[in-house]
């Protein structure tokens, strides 16, 4: 593999932002709220407000662009959350989608036995149960992470269905449908974005681990003999996606799963990890699922799930490479990586240095004063811009306060309309990161900013 460090590269500097700071900004600026807040909140469940929705939509749009629009070998799918219950027998989830759970008899809390270091236990049980004198942990029990519910009015076993814990199975059960209509042959992939649900034992760290979340998954079908090569290729492609969108390379690393960590379906998995404020943690998993899923569904459904190669006159069951990324977790990584503070003219400035294509709002048009035709002219400019991309018009309060607000939501460009605009048609264009201000004609602003949005971008935190 070229260009990617397989071994951890320790970041040259420690995490410079705390999770609390990110949470506070998300709340202050209406990105993300606690779910059901007026009732005291529902644990580890979150709602997205205006800027959060736009940011998450942009994350998903960039994913679709990279994995479907800009490739010839991918098609899209949107499968239902509820699936025939046999799906989960075939996939092995009913039996094997479990985490080991332990209870602490002292503090009465419950933990994942394999993630004790993440525990919220005040007495902090050691990674080796029993070592810590104050903690009295039970033996691990396997706990199935699937949420179950009942379809229709009768609550019996025949009506039991599950909220999908991954979107992947919707892809596997549609393999035949897609093959029939997509005119693709291996290597080719199916991409899907959708909600998934896991009854996590210890959710937490804000939107990092929740029980309801969105996944962006690819199942990429290849010949068995090509699977290792494609696994490597997808690790490179997916690493590049994160860095192209501005994540600093020294805050990303690849980590190979040990044999005891592998999921029940996986023959090899590598995680892309990000240096979150709580330390290196999984951002995206890239698994080689072998032919496990298609073979199992063929066995359980009685359908042939294989590809018939006309040229060679032979049928084979493709192997699958699966890059799987949580949209919410990805958004958190972008927020953490973008969060910055600096002192400007004696005042602290908080700024989200987001890639312009991810920024919820691309440009804010601000009349310098609320008189002399400036608000009207500013509004005209704003209406031209918003036809091309999300823009805001803000005429309230001091210019400094308005800029601070835009900096905190990561708006890359600020446009002020002043007395000179009314004379010569130029506006001031302010860059969020360099704070440079230049005068440019208002007429070609949309063109100019549209071109900037298409340019490659590097985090200013790098230099």
Give contact residues for ligand ATP (rule: CB under 6 A).
Answer: 198, 200, 209-210, 213, 215, 282-285, 324-326, 328-329
Identify which of residues 11 and 145 has a Cβ nearer to ligand ATP in the complex: 145
Identify which of residues 99 and 394 has a Cβ nearer to ligand ATP in the complex: 99
- Provide the β-strand partners of residue 278: none
Identify which of residues 213 and 403 has a Cβ nearer to ligand ATP in the complex: 213
Taking the complex as a whole, the smallest distance from the CB of residue 269 to ligand ATP amounts, in Å, to 7
- Provide the β-strand partners of residue 322: 287
The whole-angstrom separation of Cα 323 and Cα 257 is 14
Backbone angles phi, psi at 38, to 5 degrees: -65, -15
The whole-angstrom separation of Cα 359 and Cα 274 is 20
Identify which of residues 90 and 325 has a Cβ nearer to ligand ATP in the complex: 325
Identify which of residues 285 and 356 has a Cβ nearer to ligand ATP in the complex: 285
Taking the complex as a whole, the smallest distance from the CB of residue 385 to ligand ATP amounts, in Å, to 34
Distances (CA, A) of 343 to 17, 52, 433: 16, 26, 13
Query: Which residue is listed with tokens 């979340």?
Result: 213
The dihedral region occupied by 169, where left means phi > 0, alpha psi between -120 and 50, and beta the remainder, is alpha
- Residue 286 · residue 241 · CB < 8 Å: no
Identify which of residues 283 and 374 has a Cβ nearer to ligand ATP in the complex: 283
Taking the complex as a whole, the smallest distance from the CB of residue 328 to ligand ATP amounts, in Å, to 5
The whole-angstrom separation of Cα 302 and Cα 185 is 22
Taking the complex as a whole, the smallest distance from the CB of residue 284 to ligand ATP amounts, in Å, to 5
Identify which of residues 165 and 186 has a Cβ nearer to ligand ATP in the complex: 165
Taking the complex as a whole, the smallest distance from the CB of residue 82 to ligand ATP amounts, in Å, to 19
The whole-angstrom separation of Cα 144 and Cα 162 is 11
Distances (CA, A) of 288 to 90, 226, 230, 401: 18, 11, 9, 50
Taking the complex as a whole, the smallest distance from the CB of residue 38 to ligand ATP amounts, in Å, to 24
Taking the complex as a whole, the smallest distance from the CB of residue 45 to ligand ATP amounts, in Å, to 11
User: Nearest Cα to 170, choosing from 99, 218, 100, 118?
Assistant: 218
Closest residue to bound ligand ATP by CB:
326
The whole-angstrom separation of Cα 153 and Cα 407 is 51
């Amino acid at each position: 593999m070229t260009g990617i460090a397989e071994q951890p590269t320790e970041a040259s500097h420690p995490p410079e932002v705390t999770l609390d700071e990110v949470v506070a900004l998300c709340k202050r600026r209406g990105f993300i709220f606690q779910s059901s807040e007026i009732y005291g909140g529902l644990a580890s469940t979150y709602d997205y407000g205006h800027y959060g929705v736009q940011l998450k939509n942009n994350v998903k749009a960039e994913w679709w662009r990279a994995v479907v629009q800009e490739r010839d070998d991918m098609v899209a799918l949107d499968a239902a959350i509820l699936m025939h219950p046999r799906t989960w027998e075939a996939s092995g989830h009913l039996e094997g989608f479990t985490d080991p759970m332990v209870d602490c008899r002292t503090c009465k809390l419950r933990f994942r036995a394999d993630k004790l270091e993440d525990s919220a236990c005040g007495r902090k049980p050691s990674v080796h149960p029993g070592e810590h004198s104050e903690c009295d942990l039970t033996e691990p029990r396997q706990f199935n992470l699937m949420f179950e519910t009942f379809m229709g009015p009768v609550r019996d076993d025949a009506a039991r269905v599950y909220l999908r814990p991954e979107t992947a199975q919707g892809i596997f059960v549609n393999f035949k449908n897609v093959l029939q209509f997509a005119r693709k042959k291996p290597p080719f992939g199916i991409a899907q974005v959708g909600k998934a649900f896991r009854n996590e034992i210890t959710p937490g760290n804000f939107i990092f681990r929740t029980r309801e979340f969105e996944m962006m998954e690819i199942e990429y079908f290849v010949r068995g003999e090509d699977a290792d090569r494609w696994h490597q290729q997808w690790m490179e492609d997916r690493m590049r996606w994160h860095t192209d969108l501005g994540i600093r390379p020294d805050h990303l690393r690849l980590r190979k799963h040990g044999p005891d960590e592998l999921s029940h379906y996986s023959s090899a998995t590598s995680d892309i990890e990000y240096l979150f404020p709580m330390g290196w943690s999984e951002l995206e998993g890239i698994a080689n699922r072998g032919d496990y899923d298609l073979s199992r569904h063929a066995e359980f459904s009685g359908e042939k799930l294989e590809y018939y190669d006309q040229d060679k006159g032979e049928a084979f069951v493709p192997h699958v490479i699966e890059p799987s990324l949580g949209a919410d977790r990805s958004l958190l990584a972008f927020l953490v990586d973008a969060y910055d503070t600096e002192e400007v003219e004696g005042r602290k400035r908080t700024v989200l240095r987001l890639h312009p294509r991810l920024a919820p709002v691309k440009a804010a048009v601000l009349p310098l004063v609320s008189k002399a035709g400036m608000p009207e002219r500013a509004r005209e400019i704003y209406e031209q811009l918003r036809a091309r991309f999300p823009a805001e018009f803000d005429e309230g309060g001091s210019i400094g306060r308005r800029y601070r607000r835009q900096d905190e939501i990561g708006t890359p460009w600020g446009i002020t309309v002043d007395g000179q605009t009314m004379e010569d048609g130029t506006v001031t264009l302010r860059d969020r990161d360099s704070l440079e201000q230049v005068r440019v004609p208002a007429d070609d602003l949309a063109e100019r900013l549209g071109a900037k949005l298409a340019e490659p971008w590097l985090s200013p935190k790098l230099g």
